[in-house]
């Protein structure tokens, strides 16, 4: 083979290698861009959260309406006012009832005077009768005179008792009239703030017919105490117990987390059409000073702590697939590999790793990125502590 032939074959070989290299480079898949977080040691808490938004509720809230109908004659409050226990909030026209009360009270006064007069006469008659009885024993007065005196004293004593009983009857009449007056009044059952008023001066209000709810005349809220009620899926609710700690978050205060404690678990399951069956769980706030931030009706979420383990191996929950797999990054090889792990407690942030990882490894957290698979070439775009 001549030198020229060797050179020709060498050129052909170089061209073939170059074409193959170009084809390999052009068809080789791009490395997957991964976000990594290290395997660490720390605290992991198993938690249960609500399925739908919960609500901030006032510890006490009263929607008040008069028990009788009538025209509003006195309305000294407005929405937003702070009121004290027993303060008059609303009064219907009741001049006729007040007049009846005055009349009944005066009848009681007159009856007391009559009873006093009658009882004084009875006392005098009894003393006179006792003297005649004594004189009769000495045969100074006649038998008929003595018996008549005793009968008159006894009759007056009976009339005295009747007059005294009449006072009680009239006092009861006064109590009935006063009760009827109170039916036309609304008073604050506790210290609070007026949330709503449905009515104006001189408007007529009527009590709700049986089975037909109507808006309350006055809605009062105790703004010194609040709690959260939230629906928990029936499957998760079984693990919750009264007294467990809970974290509360509100859309109105996204950066703030409130501490609380489970105070009540509903005794029944809510079965609402087209929704999962849930159990209402109530969480009381641990710090009364938090109440100044709250308003009744705020939406809220709760996260009840079921169990806690400290100083355990953990990975971000977002890195775990199917509750048992993670992708581990191998920096020296520039690739990722799937790894089966045994997990323990878990919450939205962290998952405990019982077996399968060590603290010198890093796991992929953007597991839903295209191209994430066992053995895929990978390049780091972000690593977070």
What does the H/E/C string look like for the chain?
Answer: CCHHHHHHHHHHHHHHHHHHHHHHHHHCCCCEEEEEEECEEEEEEEEEECCCCEEEEECCEEEECCCCCEEEEECCCCCCCEECCCCEEEEECCHHHHHHHHHHHHHHHHHHHHHHHHHHHHHHHHHHHHHHHHHHHCCCCCHHHHHHHHHHHHHHHHHHHHHHHHHHHHHHHHHHHHHHHHHCEEECCCCEEEEEECCCCCCEECCCCCCCCCCCCEEEECCCCEEEEEEEEHHHHCCCCCCCEEEEEECCEEEEEEEEEEEEECCCCECCCCCCCEEEEEEEECCHHHHHHCCCCCEEEEEEEEEEEEEEEEEEHHHCECCCEEEEEECCCCEEEEEECEEEEECCCEEEEEECCCCCCEEECCCCCCCCCCCCEEEEEEECC
Residues 357, 10: contact at Cβ < 8 Å? no
Residue 272's pLDDT band, with cuts at 50, 70 and 90, is confident
pLDDT at 294: 85
Q: Output the CA–CA distances (angstroms, integers) from residue 76 to 59, 83, 194, in the order listed.
A: 25, 11, 12
pLDDT at 117: 93
Distance CA 259, CA 337 (A): 40
Residues 337, 375: contact at Cβ < 8 Å? yes
In the predicted structure, residue 275 carries a pLDDT above the cut 80: no
CATH architecture of 72-92+185-220: Beta Barrel (2.40)
C-alpha R_g of the chain: 44
Q: What is the mean pLDDT of residues 328-347?
A: 89
Q: Which fold does the domain 29-45+310-383 belong to in CATH? A: 2.40.420
In the predicted structure, residue 109 carries a pLDDT above the cut 90: yes
Nearest to 367 by CA among 311, 326, 329: 326
pLDDT at 26: 46
Give residues with Cβ within 8 angstroms of 200, minimum separation 6.
Answer: 72, 75
pTM across the whole model: 0.65
Give residues with Cβ within 8 angstroms of 308, minimum separation 6.
Answer: 43, 44, 45, 46, 345
pLDDT at 274: 66
pLDDT at 323: 83
In the predicted structure, residue 256 carries a pLDDT above the cut 80: yes
Residue 273's pLDDT band, with cuts at 50, 70 and 90, is low
Place of tokens 């009944």: 104
Q: Can you name the residues that pair with 362 across neighbouring β-strands?
A: 38
pLDDT in tens, 194-232: 999 998 999 998 877 777 778 889 999 998 889 999 999
49-59+223-308: CATH class: mainly beta
Task: Write down how long the chain is.
Answer: 385
Q: What is the mean pLDDT of residues 318-328?
A: 90
pLDDT at 9: 66
Least confident piece of the model among 112-116, 186-190, 347-351: 347-351
In the predicted structure, residue 254 carries a pLDDT above the cut 90: no
Distance CA 338, CA 357 (A): 12
């Amino acid at each position: 083979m001549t030198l020229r032939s060797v050179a020709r074959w060498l050129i052909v070989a170089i061209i073939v290698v170059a074409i193959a290299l170009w084809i390999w480079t052009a068809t080789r898949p791009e490395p997957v861009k991964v976000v990594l977080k290290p395997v660490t040691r720390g605290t992991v808490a198993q938690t249960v959260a609500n399925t739908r938004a919960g609500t901030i509720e006032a510890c006490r809230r009263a929607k008040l309406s008069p028990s009788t109908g009538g025209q509003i004659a006195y309305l000294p409050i407005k929405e937003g006012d702070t009121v004290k226990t027993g303060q008059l909030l609303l009064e219907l026209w009741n001049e006729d009832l007040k007049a009846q009360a005055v009349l009944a009270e005066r009848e009681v006064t007159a009856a007391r005077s009559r009873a006093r007069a009658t009882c004084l006469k009875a006392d005098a008659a009894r003393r006179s009768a006792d003297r005649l009885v004594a004189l009769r024993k000495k045969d100074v007065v006649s038998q008929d005179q003595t018996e008549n005196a005793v009968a008159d004293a006894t009759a007056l004593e009976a009339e005295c008792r009747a007059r005294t009983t009449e006072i009680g009857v009239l006092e009861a009449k006064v109590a009935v009239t006063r009760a009827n007056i109170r039916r036309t009044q609304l008073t604050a059952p506790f210290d609070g703030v007026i949330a709503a008023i449905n009515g104006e001066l001189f408007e007529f209000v009527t009590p709700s017919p049986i089975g037909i709810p109507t808006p309350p005349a006055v809605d009062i809220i105790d703004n010194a105490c609040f709690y959260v009620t939230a629906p928990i899926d029936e499957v998760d609710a079984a693990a919750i117990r009264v007294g467990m700690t809970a974290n509360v978050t509100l859309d109105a205060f996204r950066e703030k987390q409130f501490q609380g404690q489970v105070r009540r678990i509903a005794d029944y399951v809510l079965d609402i059409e087209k929704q999962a069956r849930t159990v209402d769980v109530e969480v009381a706030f641990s710090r009364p000073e938090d109440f100044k931030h709250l308003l009744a009706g705020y939406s809220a979420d709760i996260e009840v702590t079921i169990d806690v383990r400290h100083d355990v191996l953990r990975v971000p929950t977002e890195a775990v697939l199917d509750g048992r797999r993670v992708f581990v990054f191998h920096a020296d090889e520039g690739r990722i590999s799937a790894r089966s792990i045994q997990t323990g407690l878990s919450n939205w942030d962290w998952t405990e790793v019982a077996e399968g990882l060590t603290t010198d490894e890093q796991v992929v957290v953007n597991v839903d990125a295209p191209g994430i698979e066992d053995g895929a070439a990978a390049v780091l775009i972000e690593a977070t502590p």
